[in-house]
Amino acid sequence: MKNSISKKRFMLIYSVKSILLFLFLFSALNSNAQEKKYKIGCIAFYNLENLFDTIDTENVRDEEFTPEGRNRWTPDRYLVKLDMLAEVIAQVGNDLTKDAPAIIGVSEIENIDVLEDLVNTPALKPYNYKIVHYDSPDKRGVDVGLLYQPKYFTVTGSVSYELGIEGRDDFFSRDQLLVSGLFDGEPLSIIVNHWPSRRGGEKRSRPLRIAAADLTRSITDSLMQIDKNAKVIVMGDLNDDPVDPSVKDHLKTSGKINKIPDGYLYNPMENLFKKGIGSLAWRDSWNLFDQIVISPGLVGENRNDFKFYKAGVFNKKFLKNKEGRYAGYPLRTYAGGVYQGGYSDHFPVYIYLIKETN
């Protein structure tokens, strides 16, 4: 694994003999050899797969997610899904941080009400998650949102950007959510996405995702024009893989951390994808649509700032089908119109950021 962190520090991190709890989220990684300590924080993204309430909302295509609808979406099923999703979120990144994520972007949520229900589940309520959410014009009523623990992240501003397609007045999709704030005192901006789907075929729908990528890139550029070293995180369900044109050529990403071209972003998910790691499965193949991409400002050498450490897909065994044709696939809520009582058709993804503390 190549990294802009010096070889000596890289080996130090991997020779850690103990992980100490530091301010709950930020663990101190301690080497007995040189007594160096690090803060480490987890930032994640999770497609919650149709987190709808049970109410038939006017002017929203949510009829199937009602007690009388096709899915027989009852209050009991809704509460079960909330508890299961909360169980997952509370564990993402916990291996190192011993806490739930400091920040987690989410998609496929119907409204702010379902997010409020989610953060008030027994598994998540202790973390005091706060919410950033805007209603989007998506015809199914699904939006993106951001959950954050205020003891680690302070929001200073947010705005929702609508994705418009020239000549397509009938096109309505999820907005792109920009949230800026202070992560343990350091400026950080996060863009949460859910790009247009591949409905109608990948090639036919590709221009829609390219338009979404161009919008995301313009938001990123506006932040980096103010500060070329701005710390920006782009996350979301992009409905494309890290090697597809929308991501590589329009969002402008590189999978080589030591050779990021000028004007490009670093995509740690590209290397995971090339190793065959995915966040969702379709027709016996894996895709890595769920991605977290970072600006070069999170890759530099300054040991006094948070920097990228590593990325991963949270694909624990309990999240997978255990048998049958789809063994190993994400255990989802519905499959083929049949209630499965699972979590989501996507696995969460995450990154760790670290900072030397002495």
Q: Is residue 260 part of a domain?
A: yes
Give the tokens for residue 63: 């009829």
Q: Is residue 31 part of a domain?
A: no
pLDDT one digit per residue (tens) for the chain, 358 residues: 444 444 444 333 333 333 333 443 444 444 444 567 889 999 999 999 999 999 998 888 899 999 999 999 999 999 999 999 999 999 999 999 999 999 999 999 999 999 999 999 999 999 999 999 999 998 888 999 999 999 999 999 999 999 988 888 878 899 999 999 999 999 999 999 999 999 999 999 999 999 999 999 999 999 999 999 999 999 999 999 999 999 999 999 999 999 999 999 999 999 999 999 999 998 889 999 999 999 999 997 766 799 999 999 999 999 999 988 899 999 999 998 899 999 999 999 999 999 988 7
Do the domain assignments include residue 1? no
Residue 198 counted as domain residue: yes
For the question of whether the overall pTM of this predicted structure is more than 0.85, the answer is yes
- Per DSSP (E only), the strands in 52-198 are 103-109, 130-133, 143-148, 153-161, 176-183, 186-194
5 is a domain residue: no
Give the tokens for residue 68. Answer: 């009388």
**For residue 281, what are its two tokens?**
């499965």
Backbone phi, psi, residue 272, to 5°? -65, -45
CATH of the domain at 191: 3.60.10.10
25 within a domain of the structure (yes/no): no
Measure the CA–CA gap between 330 and 78, rounded to whole angstroms: 19
DSSP strand pairing (143-148 vs 130-133): antiparallel
Residue 89 counted as domain residue: yes
In this structure, is residue 199 part of a structural domain? yes
Structural domains of the chain, count: 1
For residue 131, the enclosing domain spans: 41-356
